[in-house]
Amino acid sequence: MSRFPYSDEYEVHRTMPAAGTPKEDILAMMSEMASRENVAWEGGHCSGTMYCGDHDHYDFLNQAFANFSYVNTLQRDMCPSATKFEAEIIAMTLDMLNAGALNANPGGLVTSGGSGSIAHAVLAYREATTPPGRPNMIKPETAHPAFSKAGHLFGVEMKSAPVDPVTTQVDLDWVRKNIDGNTVALIGSAPNYGYGTIDQIPELGAMALEHHVGLHVDGCLGGFLLPFGRQLGVDIAPFDFSVPGVTTISADTHKYGYALKGASVLAFADQSLRNSQYFYLTDWSGGKYCSPGMDGSRSGGLLAATWAAMVHLGQEGYLRYAKAIFETSVAMQRGVRGHPSLRIMGKPSFLFSFTSDEFDVYLVNDFLRTKGWRLNGQQYPNALHMAVTRPQTQPGVVERWTADLADAVAYAQAHRDETAKSGAIYGGVAGGMSAEADEFIRAVMANMMDQQASIPSL
């Protein structure tokens, strides 16, 4: 049987069909695919990925998107609504992140996602400074790989600071010792993707001010959840613009902002830093060209849907969902702490990670997968994490987690001498991997992207 998706049920198109397919047939096929694939997350067994999980909300966002899906936000004279939506998304995000505490002129940028916000931040710091040599930024080892990607693309060296193996927070002494004349910014996570722990942002801010460099807080994951957790009284350390020294914050609207995929906000403490990364070409024969970011054409639908999500939910909605998520995370963590053979990493927030000093924790994952759970694997040390989202707050999920985890631990103890089948690849690609697997990873990526290689012959 072919490994190409759905090839045994639906026609595979190697060339454009000679005659068009009826709309009804196309929509029926897509609806069937979506219904099957939704099963993977609707029951609350999937870590992260689907942050809202409310089909009524998705339908509402799709309606908002449809009104402007065909609009190009470059043509603001034809679609002034895009300016309204984008400006208000940025203003609401700045307010949520305490930009009112700044004695400056804050601003922002709506990007294509977390990696886009991180890349634009790295570009802004590079363009706003003129160090004598190659610019560098200092990031915790736990910081998202998008920083390394951006550094590679923009020629900015990324110095990777170790983290404390107990707290999983960045080693501040290492950061302090490695700041030099070419350092343009420091980086901290709120929280990091792996462990759900927040780096020491106030200390990093003080260090940034002392050395006259920037501080980017990566709140891509928690930017739209941690502020509401703090309002609810959850013990969350300061991380936003109320912390002196913080100059940029990334926060993904497509995660706990409950908007559609493909949107994020990069917030700047001062517009001068944002303005440094604009691109313009004034002597082009086609006219004067300028763009606020790397993207050219953007769909107005994403701006409309993001704005609609934020305005519809309001602070009351975000607080209500945050309360349920934090309470569910505490309950699920309680289930982990009930097993002496498991150990939670650091002091997590809504996302928690656990490992074992008695057996390979991937064995726990092997069993949980048979029960429909989809956790994310980590390495150095082997660990598993659960990013709690709204689907986990459904009735019965915590109880299933507690029962299945108990069975999974018993399985791991009984099979401790065996090799686990699962491993640690970001994004959920299954299979055990080693540090020498670069070629295999390239092959996997090529198989996903190269249609000539992956579409079966007819």
Do 300 and 341 fall within a single domain?
A: no
Helix/strand/coil for 142: coil
Residue 315 has pLDDT above 60, yes or no: yes
Provide the pLDDT for residue 127. Answer: 95
With b for 16 or more beta-carbon neighbours within 10 A and e for fewer, the 121-138 pattern comes to bbbbbbbbbeeeeebbbb
CA 88/CA 91 separation, integer angstroms: 5
From first CA to last CA, the distance across the chain in angstroms is 13
Q: What is the pLDDT of residue 242?
A: 96
The pLDDT tens digits for 31-54 are 999 999 999 999 999 999 999 999
Nearest by Cα to 125 from 204, 187, 189, 199 = 187
State whether residue 419 is helix, strand or coil: coil
Q: 456 versus 389: which is more confidently predicted?
A: 389
Is residue 4, in this structure, part of any structural domain at all?
no
Other Cβ atoms less than 10 A from the Cβ of 330: the count is 14
Same domain for 143 and 194: yes
Q: Among residues 432, 405, 422, which one has the least CA distance to residue 363? A: 422
In terms of domains, do 150 and 133 share one?
yes
Whether residues 88 and 193 share a domain: the answer is: yes
On whether residue 166 sits in a domain, the answer given is: yes
**Average pLDDT rounded to a whole number, residues 63-87:** 92
Domain boundary, last residue among 242, 275, 309? 309
Q: Does the residue 369 lie in any domain?
A: yes
User: Using CA atoms, how far apart are residues 424 and 376, in angstroms rounded to an integer?
Assistant: 7
Query: Residue 160 forms beta bridges with which residues?
Result: 139
Q: What is the mean pLDDT of the chain?
A: 92
- Assigned domain for 95 exists: yes
Residue where a domain stops, chosen among 309, 331, 354: 309
Q: Which residues are bridge partners to 387 per DSSP?
A: 351
Q: How many domains does the chain have?
A: 2
DSSP 189-254: ESS-TTT-----HHHHHHHHHHHT-EEEEE-TTTTTTHHHHHHTT------STTSTT--EEEE-TT
Is the pLDDT at 19 greater than 50? The verdict is yes
Q: Nearest CA to 220 among 119, 370, 354?
A: 119
In 3D space, the residue among 239, 229, 111, 273 whose CA is nearest the CA of residue 169 turns out to be 239
Greatest C-alpha distance within the chain: 72
pLDDT per residue as tens digits for the range 177-230: 999 999 999 999 999 999 999 999 999 999 999 999 999 999 999 999 999 999
Q: Which residue has the tokens 């990925």?
A: 49
Q: Is residue 12 part of a domain?
A: no
Whether residues 280 and 330 fall in one domain: no
The whole-number pLDDT of residue 433 equals 46
Res 443: pLDDT? 62
The DSSP-derived string for 13-28 is -SS--SSPPPHHHHHH
- Say if residue 353 is in the same domain as residue 410: yes
Share of the chain above pLDDT 90, in %: 83
**CATH number of the CATH domain containing 371:** 3.90.1150.10
Per-residue pLDDT at 164 exceeds 80: yes
| CB 96, CB 227: distance < 8 Å | yes
Residue at 28 is within a domain:
no
- pLDDT tens-digit readout, 417-442: 999 998 765 554 443 444 455 666 66
Q: Are 376 and 296 found together in one domain?
A: no
Q: Are residues 183 and 90 in the same domain?
A: yes
Q: What is the pLDDT of residue 426?
A: 55
Per-residue confidence (pLDDT) for residue 1, from 0 to 100:
43
DSSP conformation letters of 33-80: HHHHHHHHHHTS-B-SS-S---HHHHHHHHHHHHHHTT-BTT-TTT-H
Whether residues 170 and 295 share a domain: the answer is yes
Claim to verify: residue 291 and residue 371 sit in the same structural domain: no
Residue 11 lies in a domain: no
Same domain as 209, residue 176: yes
pTM beyond 0.85: the answer is: yes
Give me the CATH number covering residue 210.
3.40.640.10
> What pLDDT is recorded for position 87?
96
- For residues 367 and 407, is the Cβ–Cβ distance under 8 A? yes
User: How big is the chain, counted in residues?
Assistant: 458
Q: Does 434 share its domain with 398? A: yes
> Does 62 reside within a domain?
no
Which of 261, 289, 309 terminates a domain? The answer is 309
**Helix, strand, coil fractions of the chain, as percent rounded to 5:** 40, 15, 45
Least confident of 395-409, 415-429, 436-450: 436-450
Q: What is the pLDDT of residue 430?
A: 40
Q: 390 is in which domain, residue-wise?
A: 315-438
